[in-house]
Structure 1
Amino acid sequence: MSLRNFILSLFLHVFFITFLKGQDHSQAWIRINLVGYAPAGVKVAVYGTKNTSQSIQTFELVEVKTARVVLKKAAGKDFGAYGPFVHAFRLDFTQFSVPGTYYLQAGSARSPEFSIRENIYEGTADFALRYMRQQRSGYNPFLKDSCHTHDGYTVYGPMPDGTHIDVAGGWHDATDYLQYATTSANATYHLLAAYRDFPESFTDKHQANGLVGTNGRADVLDEATWGLEWLMKMHPRADWMFNQLADDRDHAGFRMPNKDTVDYGYGKGKGRPVYFITGDVQGLGKFKNRATGTASTAGKLASAFALGSQLYAALDPTLAQTLKVKSLSAFQYGQAKPGVAQTASVKAPYFYEEDNWVDDMELGAAAMYQLTNDKKYFEQGMEYSSQEPITPWMVKDTARHYQWYPFHNFGHYELALKSDKEARAKLMSYYKQGIEKIWQRGKHNAFYRGVPFIWCSNNLTTSFAIQCYLYRTLTGDQTYIQLEQACFDWLFGCNPWGTSMVYGLPAQGDTPVDPHSSFTVLHQYPLDGGLVDGPVYGKIYNSLLGLKLGSADEYARFQSDLVVYHDDYGDYSTNEPTMDGTASLIYLLAAKDTDSRRGVRGKK
């Protein structure tokens, strides 16, 4: 999209929202998945009203082209109050599967138009890859320029502090330009797994450097390789591993990465600090983390290297062998000092407070077993799995920032792929226990919302939907398919605000246009495919410092004491895109595309 067209699009969006605020006095709305629905899949919308006396008995599905009512059904159960709504209903039209363009009508409320078609999610995973390319450090193909090429100088390592080591590359974590081994390794794993599991969902339209062109490899593999190359720099030899590049001194306002001068502020000229993993408490200023070991990061690196080695075995045997060696040494690095390698801060007491590590070592062991077929790794993985069967946030209603990360345990699935019937049943029972916890919290509201509204709630929602998908595909159990779809639909508009949480997806829908990002704030560059952090509890939003909206809140009618979301660059808590969340979304979009292509049926 050209800058001129983007500005025009932004103007029309703001005009449209302003017009609605001035003209639309309705008190009822129908929330849908704005991307659309697969013919064979679950199809549910949510009707919500703020009027205590405004209820519904039936709803209709109307074909746009003919204005013909093609389905009329009872609205069913009133789920009662949720968020801004005093009444809410689930409008289930799963039984209808004829391709076409439709809208829903219930009482005075009419939904946006949407499509039902088999290829409804085609191209969406590739679309989200645009954001990953835009987040590249080193050479940035979106800007066609380089940034942060002098990174970095070491701290906490066995070498003298200030020693230069080449760690240029990788992805910026979010709007700031910090880079973390833990989020980058998790993102890399998701991209590799998406290529392995859903190759038909990806195309080859970019070169390895991210510029337009072809190189004979799917773009998702190019992006995963970009991650692998940086992770190898962060583990340059068997007894060296680094955890993060830069720290919160980077939080110095909006600026473009290729014009960044903050690296001068670290006191070493150009270049930023790269933190060696010691397994001990770290923090260069007043504030310290609570690090206890190396395994949380080392396990993630081991799994990414091992899966990368498997996928490159036929494509590039030399790289595959290098990755195999790296996976072995990374796994051993984690075994040497069990515990968590948290990130470090200087200016404020905010860091990634990861408190679990056995899930990372389980996934590392599973990937090592798949790579080597050495039974000892399977046995180690099963032992780790029993120590944390359920990802802890699933049994909580709150958590500290990235306290339990990744947000679902891929290790259970990867172990189950190469296990006997008994082990598979045990591992899938772990998934089911976690899913059931969320179901028990969510089944009483119309959105089936059981995921807590903590910071990065969209990332949790994406991961939870992936866990539901992995459980369903391995067991054939469709008990939770509506819950799974509700999480997916939430991300694309079936939520109280009626907005997609992914920039530019779908193109004609209500999506973020004013995210917390230097790219948009300074130059109105689109952040195509970026998944924003997502809604947070009202109590969290009200406690945050330095948060001020830049314009009137177009979603004011839909905010509540329970939860808030703002499409405003001033709200860094709900409207900042993240690299690792987007990488997880790419896996989920590819999974949904594959389901749609294969005609996987939803439970009616």
Structure 2
Amino acid sequence: MNKIFVNQVGFMPNAEKKAVLNFDAAGFQVIDANGESVLKGEATHFGTDEISGEDTYIADFSQIKNQGMYKILAGDVSSASFFVGENAFDKLMKDVCKCFYYLRCGHGLDKKYAGKYYHEPCHVSKATVYGEDVPAVDVCGGWHDAGDFGRYSTAGAVAVAHLLYAVRFFPKLLEVEFDIPKVSCEKGLLPDILAEVKVELDFLMKMQREDGSVWHKVTTFSHAPFIMPEDDKEELFLFNVSSLATADIAAVFALANTVYGAYDKEYAKLLLERSLKAYKWLEANNDAVLFKNAEGSNTGEYPENEDNSNRFWAAAALFEATGEKKYYQDALKQKPFIEAYDKGDAFKEYTGNIFTCFGWADVAGLGALSLILKDEVSELYEFVKRALIEEANRLVRNSSENGFGLCMKKENFIWGSNMELLKYLMVLTVANKLEPKAEFVNTLTAGLNYLLGCNSMDVSYVTGNGEKAFKNPHLRPTFAAKLDAWPGLVSGGPNTGLQDERAQELPKDTAPMKCYIDHVDCYSLNEITIYWNSPLVFVLAGLM
């Protein structure tokens, strides 16, 4: 079928603006809200690429700068409508931020703020410490992690980190209001983003034991069926401590200390105390304490093969927060980072795997962000700065290899491919702040265009944003309540692994970009999670 793929949300006035056609048109035109043609042009033939499977033609309409609604027309084929203007992403940003509120666990959602997505208090009972004969623990609060009701320390810490690093790099995020309950502090009221993040920080504090270590997760023993959160009455379990969780919490509490100090000194002081307590436990436990699910349990495992990247992040974050050189030296000692530093000629091949990773499994890139924020000339600072810029240059090269200008390769279309993309867009955002380049901005813009509809599925991967936004996430509350998903949720996206039964209905030779079905059963393609939303907040904050 002949289609015109375009970002269905919109463009900033001075941004590069492109649509992609999968057919040879005599020409294209841009139509305004009154049906008037405001630009005519010829589409450039790019050809067929392996990630989309489409024979692509590129329509450049960057000349359109006046505010308004538009669509692309080629022959009798029309694109979805889109907006051009300085506030093109305002609604999107508010929606993406408010998703965290809707995912709150504990004392329920207020009808005033949640509307039809209101639910009663959930998971308020104390949690049994699995395998230990000790009193049950109050760990009420935080955010449900994803389509399930689990709460996970490493995943939560990374989502919080994306949001707080966004605040540090792009303070205008503090001005975004997205209709959640206000929270008082020493200086008056917390900005909305900090009020929402505090919900998760307070929960993560409850996950820390007296000795400083941190439980890896709190869940029921098995995933709940598709019921409302308050109807999940199964016993809660706190599962084993891990050095992964302990290091991530040490890092994120140190980071939070640098943000909340301007609003509530006592709270910031508490965060730093908790960070140092976790770090002290890490120092006393040099061997990695990894995590594996209890036999028979099927809730999220979040396994990692090593804890070096976690310890690196903790050391870098504490160095940035305290200025103490000890933590800088500790960061240098973490393998394989010192090995990477010594690789020399192999640098370019190595950086993409180490210092530019912003996901839950590899967090060294988050440590790099702390070093960039410290902005103190050192060998390690220069190294991570170079790593980010080199990775951004690699992504620019990738973007030239397909008709959508997408910085991904076919091997990146894994479970949570949209997270892979958003991590790359974070790299481009930071690299452009360090060394501004039009190529970085254009590659970033093309990636955002892909996420918002300029893809061979012709779908916006953010609920409620775009004419053809996906509607059926793998998400228990909305399915149980028989409601459309609330706006602002990011889908996991196309995944060549096709790990669920519904996804396996797709032909095995489906092009990577087309390995997607908008169906609630597709947990391997269409689930949501807090750490798929959080990097989009970071990227949008950079565009602001």
Calculate the TM-score normalised by the size of structure 1.
Answer: 0.77
Q: Does 1:523 align with 2:481?
A: yes
Residue in structure 1 matched with residue 370 of structure 2 by the alignment: 414
Residue in structure 2 matched with residue 316 of structure 1 by the alignment: 264
- Counterpart AA for 1:448: G
The alpha-carbon distance between structure 1 residues 82 and 108, as it changes in their structure 2 partners (threshold 3 A), is farther
Matches within 5 A, 1:152-551: 152-155=127-130, 160-161=132-133, 163-201=135-173, 202-203=176-177, 205-208=179-182, 216-246=189-219, 249-261=221-233, 263=234, 271-277=235-241, 279=242, 294=243, 296-335=244-283, 336-339=285-288, 341-347=290-296, 351-384=301-334, 385-387=337-339, 394=352, 404-406=361-363, 409-417=365-373, 418-420=375-377, 423-449=380-406, 450-451=408-409, 452-506=412-466, 509-525=467-483, 526-537=485-496, 540-541=497-498, 544-547=499-502
1:60 to 29, 44, 48: 29
Count of residue pairs brought into register by the alignment: 512
Deviations 1:492-518 (A, max 9, x none): 111111111111124xx2112222222
- Counterpart AA for 1:481: V
**Distance (Å, rounded) in 1 between the aligned partners of 2:362 and 2:349:** 8
The alpha-carbon distance between structure 1 residues 368 and 115, as it changes in their structure 2 partners (threshold 3 A), is same
- Asked if the contact 1:62/1:71 (under 8 Å) is kept, the reply is no
The alpha-carbon distance between structure 1 residues 109 and 170, as it changes in their structure 2 partners (threshold 3 A), is same
- Counterpart AA for 2:493: G
- Asked if the contact 2:49/2:401 (under 8 Å) is kept, the reply is no
2:58 to 75, 83, 90: 90
Residue in structure 2 matched with residue 44 of structure 1 by the alignment: 18
Residue in structure 2 matched with residue 21 of structure 1 by the alignment: none
- Counterpart AA for 2:303: E
**Distance (Å, rounded) in 2 between the aligned partners of 1:477 and 1:422:** 24
Find the residue that maps to 1:136 and give its secondary structure: coil
**Distance (Å, rounded) in 1 between the aligned partners of 2:454 and 2:178:** 32
2:93 to 122, 125, 132: 125
The alpha-carbon distance between structure 1 residues 317 and 150, as it changes in their structure 2 partners (threshold 3 A), is same
**Distance (Å, rounded) in 2 between the aligned partners of 1:274 and 1:382:** 33
The alpha-carbon distance between structure 1 residues 128 and 37, as it changes in their structure 2 partners (threshold 3 A), is same
**Distance (Å, rounded) in 2 between the aligned partners of 1:465 and 1:96:** 24
- Asked if the contact 2:130/2:239 (under 8 Å) is kept, the reply is yes
Calculate the TM-score normalised by the size of structure 2.
Answer: 0.85
**Distance (Å, rounded) in 2 between the aligned partners of 1:356 and 1:521:** 37
More divergent stretch after superposition (63-72 vs 304-313): 63-72
Shift of 1:376: 2.5
- Counterpart AA for 1:359: S
Shift of 1:36: 0.1
Find the residue that maps to 2:70 and give its secondary structure: strand
Deviations 1:473-492 (A, max 9, x none): 11223333222222211111
Shift of 1:135: 1.3
- Asked if the contact 1:501/1:532 (under 8 Å) is kept, the reply is yes
The alpha-carbon distance between structure 1 residues 351 and 205, as it changes in their structure 2 partners (threshold 3 A), is closer
Q: CA RMSD in A?
A: 3.1
The alpha-carbon distance between structure 1 residues 510 and 182, as it changes in their structure 2 partners (threshold 3 A), is same
**Distance (Å, rounded) in 2 between the aligned partners of 1:421 and 1:375:** 11
- Asked if the contact 1:83/1:496 (under 8 Å) is kept, the reply is no
Residue in structure 2 matched with residue 601 of structure 1 by the alignment: none
The alpha-carbon distance between structure 1 residues 383 and 125, as it changes in their structure 2 partners (threshold 3 A), is farther
Shift of 1:421: 7.5
Residue in structure 1 matched with residue 39 of structure 2 by the alignment: 70
Residue in structure 2 matched with residue 33 of structure 1 by the alignment: 7
- Asked if the contact 1:78/1:87 (under 8 Å) is kept, the reply is yes
- Counterpart AA for 1:222: A
The alpha-carbon distance between structure 1 residues 394 and 374, as it changes in their structure 2 partners (threshold 3 A), is closer
The alpha-carbon distance between structure 1 residues 127 and 546, as it changes in their structure 2 partners (threshold 3 A), is same
1:116 to 78, 84, 91: 84
**Distance (Å, rounded) in 1 between the aligned partners of 2:124 and 2:28:** 58
Find the residue that maps to 1:193 and give its secondary structure: helix
- Asked if the contact 2:101/2:180 (under 8 Å) is kept, the reply is no
More divergent stretch after superposition (139-148 vs 565-574): 139-148
Shift of 1:442: 4.5
- Asked if the contact 1:175/1:578 (under 8 Å) is kept, the reply is yes
Find the residue that maps to 1:409 and give its secondary structure: helix
Shift of 1:119: 1.2
- Asked if the contact 1:238/1:326 (under 8 Å) is kept, the reply is no
The alpha-carbon distance between structure 1 residues 39 and 149, as it changes in their structure 2 partners (threshold 3 A), is same
**Distance (Å, rounded) in 1 between the aligned partners of 2:447 and 2:79:** 19
**Distance (Å, rounded) in 1 between the aligned partners of 2:360 and 2:191:** 33
Shift of 1:41: 1.7
**Distance (Å, rounded) in 1 between the aligned partners of 2:133 and 2:452:** 47
Residue in structure 2 matched with residue 283 of structure 1 by the alignment: none
Unaligned runs of 5+ in 1: 1-26, 50-54, 264-270, 280-293, 595-604
